[in-house]
Structure formats: C-alpha cells, structure tokens
Amino acid sequence: MTEIHALSGAYAVDAVDDLERAAFERHLAECAECRAEVASLRETAAMLAETTAAAPPSALRDRVLADITTIRQLPPEVPTAQPVRRHRVRLLVAAAAAVVLVGAGTAVVVTQPWADETRPPSATVQVLEAPDAQSTTLEFPGGASATVTHSDELDRAVLQTEDMPPPPEGKVYQVWLDQPGKGMVPAGVMPVEEDQTLLLEGDAATATGAGITVEPEGGSPAPTSEPIALFDFGRSA
C-alpha cells in the first residue's frame, strides 16, 4: 500500500496541503475504496459536529485524570506496507473520541504521544516541496505518465506515476539511478498499481538521471532489459 492511500483521513478533514490535495484527488478518481473511506470519515465528522453540548457529571474530570496515570503508553509501531491506512484510521478514531469529550462539555484534555499532529512531513513530501526540487516528466503511449523529482540538498528522489499499465505477468517495473562510474544502480521496485508515489533509494545528488526497466519479479541487481523510460537530471556524468 502506498502513501497516497494513507492521505484519505487527512483529506477528509481538510488537513492536506495543495500538493497533497491535487495528488490525492487524481488518485480518488480511480480508487473506489478511498472514495468510500473519505465519505465515511466525512459522515462521522459531520455527526460529531452536530453533537449537542451537555454538562458532564461532576466526577468525570477526576475520574479521567486518575485513569490517565494507569494507562501504559504504547511503543512506536514499526511501519509496514499493509497496515498504513489502518493505522491512520485508528488515529482518526482517537481524534474523534477526543471531539466527543469536548462536545459533551468536559474541560479535560488528554494528550496522546502517538497522535502528535506536529510531527515533521514524510521524506517523500519533503522532497516534493524542497526549494531546490527539480522534476522531469515523461508521457507514455496510452496516456500514462511518470515524473521524477529530485532534491540535491536532501539527496533524495521521488517517482510519481499516473495510469501506469501493469507489467507483464511475472515481471515488475524496477527503478534505477544513473551514477557516474557505476551506471544504473537499483533504486527500488514499483508496486503494481496504476498511480504510484515511490521514494527512491540511493544518492540522488550524485546521479545524472534515472530509468525504469521491466525485470523479473523481485527485481535485479543490474538491468536485464532496455529501459522503457530515461530521466535526465540535467548534469554531465
């Protein structure tokens, strides 16, 4: 599961920037699952907004504060590919519970360390929004496109695709960075989805370009086929 899917919760409550909103709305047009999730989250938010305020029991504040001291803080979760969206939904549920407490009139504020909205943006977003970011876009027959954005300051690059057809059965799209004196160096394998946002591996600041090839499932240490796309970073080897 890619990062674009994980934006559904933030998009539903208008907590994305213009770049993320544009990318997610393009994805939303093609993903029925995300459309359903956004609709459900917006419905929940609307219900919470209509909650009628009521005075809480006088003992509620003392009980909540006492309970907080008995709660064991959870360690950070190790990110995996599949649970990304579930983790975000859990955070939204926790946020919704906090809204219910406020709507009920209580003055208790519970701070959860794992729901910190002040955390820095992801490495992918940092590259896409970097002041020195440079992008190269290629269009394929049939309307598909691929864009590589690289930042020398951050030494990272990001690949974004739209309407990418699936590779042949038993094959994958593999991405490479063209390094001086080394040639094409593996930079990641694309998951099989039409729209992708992939943070590439390797040193983008030294690379002169990037490429995409069709490789056996699992990827290859070196290209075994001619590239279907080559991106020039605009500097000599």
| Averaged pLDDT of the chain | 75
Q: Do 89 and 106 lie in a common domain?
A: yes
Q: What does the alpha-carbon distance between residue 87 and residue 53 come to, in Å, rounded to a whole number?
A: 30
- Residues 54-86 as b or e (16 or more Cβ within 10 Å = b): eeeeeebeeeeeeeeeeeeeeeeeeeeeeeebe
| pLDDT tens digits for range 189-224 | 988 777 889 999 999 999 999 999 999 998 999 999
The verdict on residue 15 lying in a domain is yes
The verdict on residue 186 lying in a domain is yes
Q: Do 80 and 164 lie in a common domain?
A: no
Q: What does the alpha-carbon distance between residue 31 and residue 12 come to, in Å, rounded to a whole number?
A: 15
Q: Do 82 and 135 lie in a common domain?
A: no
Q: Which of 63, 84, 115 is where one domain is finished?
A: 115
The verdict on residue 148 lying in a domain is yes
Q: Which of 81, 115, 149 is where one domain is finished?
A: 115
The verdict on residue 237 lying in a domain is no
Q: Do 88 and 132 lie in a common domain?
A: no
Q: Is the predicted pLDDT of residue 106 greater than 90, yes or no?
A: no
The residue range of the domain holding 109 is 3-115
Q: How many domains does the chain have?
A: 2
Q: Do 76 and 151 lie in a common domain?
A: no
Q: Do 136 and 56 lie in a common domain?
A: no
Q: What does the alpha-carbon distance between residue 1 and residue 197 come to, in Å, rounded to a whole number?
A: 10
Q: Do 106 and 128 lie in a common domain?
A: no
- When pLDDT is cut at 50, 70 and 90, the band that residue 120 belongs to is confident
Q: Do 39 and 59 lie in a common domain?
A: yes
DSSP 160: E
DSSP 220: -
Q: Which of 85, 115, 145 is where one domain is finished?
A: 115
Strand bridging mode 134-139 / 196-199: unpaired
Q: Do 130 and 73 lie in a common domain?
A: no
- Residues of the chain above pLDDT 70, percent: 65
Q: Do 225 and 145 lie in a common domain?
A: yes
The verdict on residue 161 lying in a domain is yes
pLDDT at 121: 82
pLDDT at 237: 62
Q: Do 54 and 83 lie in a common domain?
A: yes
pTM recorded for the entire structure: 0.52
